[in-house]
A and B are shown apart, each in its own frame.
Chain A
Amino acid sequence: MTPILFWGLKAALFLLAVAMLCALARLLIGPTAQDRVIALDCLYINGMLMMLVLGIVYASSVYFEAAMLIALFGFVGSTAMAKFLLRGEVIE
């Protein structure tokens, strides 16, 4: 691994950690429930990107499947929360 890739991956992990902290702050201080829903949506997308970057760091494609699962279940979770806020129940 060349130094440019090493430091590029370090910088990307740092930026994604900052992004996750911003989303977490909005998740905690969000005044309304829909703010928290989009903060959680942003948080899982940032976590998925961090999984992909970690897959490059360790040169392992196992992280790719974890990122795929996060993408799948994050969408289901966000949609279920939106549906709950809209209707009062998830499955009617």
Chain B
Amino acid sequence: MNDALATSPLWADIATAVLVVVGASFAAVGSFGLLRMPTFYRRIHTPTLGATLGVWSITLATIIFFSTQGYGLFLHAVLISFFVGLTAPITTIFVMRVALFRDRRKPNPKAPVPPASSAPSTAPTPPAAPATTETP
């Protein structure tokens, strides 16, 4: 048991391998959805799978691997998952506003239409509040 302390124990290797493969699979599925989805408004959903679950799994694997190397607790990787979790929604909101703005400038037939029951005939026009602030 004592010589196992020099390298990482077996459970840490297994946990690292499983978490790394799971995180990379989430990132691959998200990126494949980015390639496969037909319109922009569907495409913007898929990369968030890699930005949340993929990043969390791989940072957790990094923490487990470096914490069992014998140099003490390695918690710096929490910074990455915290920072990506903080900034990915901001980027998505900005790009979504860009898409709405550009589709309003040059109408896009593929733009999503809200359900007829909730929003009647004003479907393609987005809410009025950002419209006043966005027009230069």
Give A62 to B68 CA distance when docked, in angstroms: 17
Of the listed stretches B31-39, B112-120, B121-129, chain A binds: B31-39
B contacts with A, residue count (CB < 8 A): 54
What are the residues of chain A within 8 A of B35 when measuring CB–CB? 22-23, 25-26
Q: A12-B23, A75-B91, A86-B98 are in contact. Are A19 and B50 (CB under 8 A)?
A: yes
Give A22 to B25 CA distance when docked, in angstroms: 13
Contact of A22 among B18, B34, B69, B102 (CB under 8 A): B34
Q: How far is the CB of A42 from chain B (nearest CB, A)?
A: 4
Considering only residues 52-72 of chain B, those with a C-beta below 8 Å from chain A are: 54-55, 58-59, 61-62, 65-66, 69
Residues in chain A within 8 A of chain B (CB atoms): 1-2, 4-5, 7-9, 11-13, 15-16, 18-20, 22-23, 25-26, 32-35, 37-39, 41-42, 45-46, 48-49, 52-53, 55-56, 59, 61, 64, 67-68, 71-72, 75, 78-79, 82-83, 85-88
Q: Does B90 reach chain A (CB closer than 8 Å)?
A: yes
What are the residues of chain B within 8 A of A49 when measuring CB–CB? 23-24, 27, 50, 54-55, 58
Q: Interface majority SS on A: helix, strand, loop or mixed?
A: helix
Contact of B91 among A7, A13, A25, A78 (CB under 8 A): A78
What are the residues of chain B within 8 A of A83 when measuring CB–CB? 94
